[in-house]
Structure 1
């Protein structure tokens, strides 16, 4: 089925196509125009018309997000690299240094290993819903449809704020990274302006430009990680003359940080904040579903394979970092420090006499910053548009403005403007601002991932309550609802442990009262923000219903595949074909396709 047919089935009220310098609006040829006029016209708003005033609020939200005029230009290769690229950035390249310093090499692997398990559950749950409902806002919209209005508001606000903060955070990180080459501080503004301009320009080319840029950014990062893994294995095995092995795991260094079990446990728990920052972006496949040409084919493969690739990249590379760099190395400093350019990957190469590659790696870190900054503008602008489509923003803000090229223009402008905070890089308060931006982001990814798992549970419950089954789903999460319950359980445990670490950090007895309070909010600030937005919405709307009744949940509006019976027949045929294949092919299909 072509994209045009799909759009007609979903009753998209407006379509625009460019053919031989003619503009076709709703199938009517207006006439030949110049290229400059075509560019100007592309910024005009798509008029979808008013919705029926007799619709309920839930129906209005479902239809508004389903008919958003976003362009479906993302292909399977874009989707996979978007997810990989969003999760391989400064969190891995730089933030892992903080984790190694506070938890030790074994603590880092435990923290990231546990995080990867609930990432699997989350991304499979997200894939199941995104294949069925590739709507504007993705999982932030599911929170409104499957849970309730207040939860949807909190989820949307939290996710938009998360990416809004990341853009200046990444730009500041990039300006710090160039310190490696001895760049004078007076040139920081120039680098900030350059990074900001590149990121904004890419997003002005629409979703196709974003997807293509992200594909190549991510390719560079993946090649770099693979190169480091090969180099790291060689160094550990003695390529530079002496066998290293597990030296840094033993006396006098140790596999953990701390003199007792409590201190070591706190060290491991502190890893989860940087792990959340590092894995943040792996959920981007769900947000991009609305702009994917064929979500039924591309999203399941992306959801499964992205998890395995990210896990392998992280676990193998961090294992090698722990073998090559001591957690007591004085060059390792906190990821929320003004000297955050001290990447443990770079330290590993420098410490073992590898020349040239450290500079190459810092260039890749700059590319990673561009990649994550690119994703932040994309994600925040789409979330803001969905935020408005769901009735959460004042009409005068026009956040749902989508132009004829499928760009949520107002959202892009707001996100880009907020990115100008990156110019604080030239200020003496740079480190302090960096700390608080990082605190705002902090644990917000954990709330997002727990929310996705909860939406999946509510979606399955609605299916059951309405007498329907997973037989009608194009893709079923291989870990099922149990995986979503597991994800919520682990994330809740992490949040509780993080509260303990934030309130009573290692060495808190030597800290003043103000330092303890500051440490708590720098670690846990995103939690009160989420709680305030949730209960603030409840009080404002005077709505005390905890959940939408399962029987009333809308599980049809926005589906790309609208002929359920025909879909069931196709799924049954595909299952029969798979059942006839050898075991190893069935296993591969279950976990990777």
Structure 2
């Protein structure tokens, strides 16, 4: 393989030749760092600032891949050697992991779930979803540490499951993220309506937020990391503040004099001492006439709880972003395992605790929860809780945080969609002539960003009278997108583990082994499949309404789209196998460490050192 016309530096050529001499065509950790550091573009001091700026947008040097290799081998090598820059630090990844799942799904759309299923139904739906999300993210962490490649989890579906499934998973994620961008921009623009801004300024706000998000991504992966670090810090502080405020309100410390939580503990007024002249609110939300569930019969309550799972999927979407960032993380071995294991704790704290307090403070029959809660910040149960209990000023502050959250999700959507587009072009799932695999000298996928900017222009529907109709159908396309993404991640983990076993290898050679194990991935796959099936039932026969084709497709459109893409690729490729045989799965290309025996020795040494530490330290390392 000749690289002299592409890479001029002889040191880089020698490093690449070392990699090519390996039978499995993978780069070791040291070799990969060496190529990256030598190939790092820097401004030329002999050129003007303008010339250096122009040069920074030129295509980064790339390696040729032997055309005699199989399609799967070429895809694995291209994604492993993508010229994306590793500039995300541990602090970036940790904050992305903490704040990635905190967005408008929690702040706003949880109100729709509360009105649909009641306070107890919301907690059941979100808790069950949290259990399989933990399994998904731990499985993803195991794969991302071993294979920090461009495209991350959608690339794993190509390698470990089947090319047709990977093709469908790629398109599922890319159109989900692409559509999410204009949705979030419009959501941000409509959030401003909380302060009664005139409708005629809607497009101005859309333009402002559009330029802000695109500008952040023009600073490359470091710009994304710093922006998400700031966004996530604000969201985390806001949630912690609300939890403290919620406890005070439930305990009767609100300015309106209402005593809230006592009725939950002891008749007639609970476990707290003190007189009050106000109406008892929080504890009664779980009892008649409100009730903990929506529905008179067990079947009706079950149906309403099932409807919460889709809302939970929308709320939790983004937790997989730590895996997407693996290829651009300086030290994925240290950062990704910690981020993956912290998923459960942040969901427990930020979601379940805050939603418990919301359920004590806001009745599920409150009319302010009704409406298009995806874009109407006034329908946020958090804002309603504060307004209902006499809190002044803070609702506006919280609305600013909701605005920041929508911008954060839009920023993450661009990051994810652009990386998947690069991977799809490298994999042959998008034609090469589109140039979507173009990555410039600063590590920016410029053509993909340009295409996303065009798609983002859909956001200018904010001033249209048909805004709600367009919004509803865009949401329908992305409704179950996250479910299919998570199913693909867990299935890829299952196939990877089976490939290890069938090829006579074990988890001893893995730097990070998912704490939830193989059975955790089976659990998440089965539960996701059940939820998708039950969602078909609730979409076709919704609670308190007759079967309706329009409402069905608004709830379930993304499922038939995924199936059509999958089957179409099968027919086009004439690929009739469901899975790549375990003995044929490539489990080496793209790994950071090519010397397996040395890796095993390093892992054994680390385990031995950990065994000498106190129990509390070992427990902390296992859990966090």
Q: CA offsets, 1:407-442, max 9 Å, x none?
A: 111111111221111111111111111111111111
SS of the residue corresponding to residue 249 of structure 2 reads: helix
Which of 18, 32, 40 matches 1:17?
40
Deviating more after overlay: 305-314 vs 529-538: 305-314
Aligned to 2:525: 488
Q: Tell me by how many angstroms 1:303 deviates.
A: 0.6
Q: Tell me by how many angstroms 1:273 deviates.
A: 0.9
Aligned to 1:388: 425
Query: Are the structure 2 counterparts of residues 263 and 69 from structure 1 closer, same or farther at C-alpha, using a change threshold of 3 Å?
Result: same
SS of the residue corresponding to residue 331 of structure 1 reads: helix
Unpaired stretches in structure 2, ≥5 consecutive residues: 1-14, 16-26, 262-282
Say whether 1:244 aligns with 2:267: no
SS of the residue corresponding to residue 617 of structure 2 reads: helix
Whether the 8 Å contact between 1:143 and 1:451 is mirrored in structure 2 is yes
Q: Decide which structure has the larger Cα Rg and report it.
A: 2
Tell me, in whole angstroms, the C-alpha distance in 2 between the residues paired with 1:7 and 1:374.
32
Q: Tell me by how many angstroms 1:15 deviates.
A: 5.3
SS of the residue corresponding to residue 183 of structure 2 reads: helix
Which of 445, 463, 473 matches 1:436?
473
Query: So what's the TM-score if we normalise by structure 1?
Result: 0.94
Tell me, in whole angstroms, the C-alpha distance in 2 between the residues paired with 1:410 and 1:14.
24
Say whether 1:553 aligns with 2:574: no
Which of 358, 369, 372 matches 1:332?
369
Tell me, in whole angstroms, the C-alpha distance in 2 between the residues paired with 1:486 and 1:463.
20
Aligned to 1:293: 330
Q: Tell me by how many angstroms 1:200 deviates.
A: 0.3
Query: Are the structure 2 counterparts of residues 361 and 209 from structure 1 closer, same or farther at C-alpha, using a change threshold of 3 Å?
Result: same
Aligned to 2:411: 374
Query: Are the structure 2 counterparts of residues 253 and 408 from structure 1 closer, same or farther at C-alpha, using a change threshold of 3 Å?
Result: same
Tell me, in whole angstroms, the C-alpha distance in 1 between the residues paired with 2:137 and 2:146.
14
Q: CA offsets, 1:289-333, max 9 Å, x none?
A: 000000001100011113311331000111111111000001002
Q: Tell me by how many angstroms 1:105 deviates.
A: 0.4
Whether the 8 Å contact between 1:74 and 1:211 is mirrored in structure 2 is yes
Tell me, in whole angstroms, the C-alpha distance in 1 between the residues paired with 2:295 and 2:132.
27
Which of 218, 221, 231 matches 1:204?
218
Which of 258, 279, 293 matches 1:256?
293
Whether the 8 Å contact between 1:466 and 1:551 is mirrored in structure 2 is yes
Q: Provide the aligned C-alpha RMSD in A.
A: 1.7
Q: CA offsets, 1:222-259, max 9 Å, x none?
A: 00000000001000100022211122111110001112
Q: Tell me by how many angstroms 1:214 deviates.
A: 0.3
Which of 601, 604, 608 matches 1:572?
604
Aligned to 1:148: 162
Say whether 1:109 aligns with 2:123: yes
Runs ≥4 in structure 1, deviation > 3 angstroms? 3-19, 334-341
Tell me, in whole angstroms, the C-alpha distance in 2 between the residues paired with 1:377 and 1:57.
28
Aligned to 1:529: 561
Deviating more after overlay: 567-576 vs 337-346: 337-346
Q: Tell me by how many angstroms 1:17 deviates.
A: 3.3
Aligned to 1:27: none
Q: Tell me by how many angstroms 1:45 deviates.
A: 0.8
Tell me, in whole angstroms, the C-alpha distance in 1 between the residues paired with 2:245 and 2:537.
38
Count of residue pairs the alignment pairs up: 576
Aligned to 1:590: 622
SS of the residue corresponding to residue 506 of structure 1 reads: coil
Aligned to 1:446: 483
SS of the residue corresponding to residue 40 of structure 2 reads: strand
Query: So what's the TM-score if we normalise by structure 2?
Result: 0.90
Q: Tell me by how many angstroms 1:580 deviates.
A: 2.1
Deviating more after overlay: 309-318 vs 290-299: 309-318
Deviating more after overlay: 106-115 vs 84-93: 84-93
Q: CA offsets, 1:153-198, max 9 Å, x none?
A: 0111101111011111111111111111001111100111111110
Unpaired stretches in structure 1, ≥5 consecutive residues: 23-30
Whether the 8 Å contact between 1:76 and 1:302 is mirrored in structure 2 is no
Query: Are the structure 2 counterparts of residues 473 and 536 from structure 1 closer, same or farther at C-alpha, using a change threshold of 3 Å?
Result: same
Q: Tell me by how many angstroms 1:10 deviates.
A: 7.7
Tell me, in whole angstroms, the C-alpha distance in 2 between the residues paired with 1:456 and 1:218.
28
Aligned to 2:452: 415
Q: Tell me by how many angstroms 1:5 deviates.
A: 8.6
Aligned to 1:124: 138
Q: Tell me by how many angstroms 1:267 deviates.
A: 0.9
Whether the 8 Å contact between 1:457 and 1:484 is mirrored in structure 2 is yes
Query: Are the structure 2 counterparts of residues 207 and 332 from structure 1 closer, same or farther at C-alpha, using a change threshold of 3 Å?
Result: same
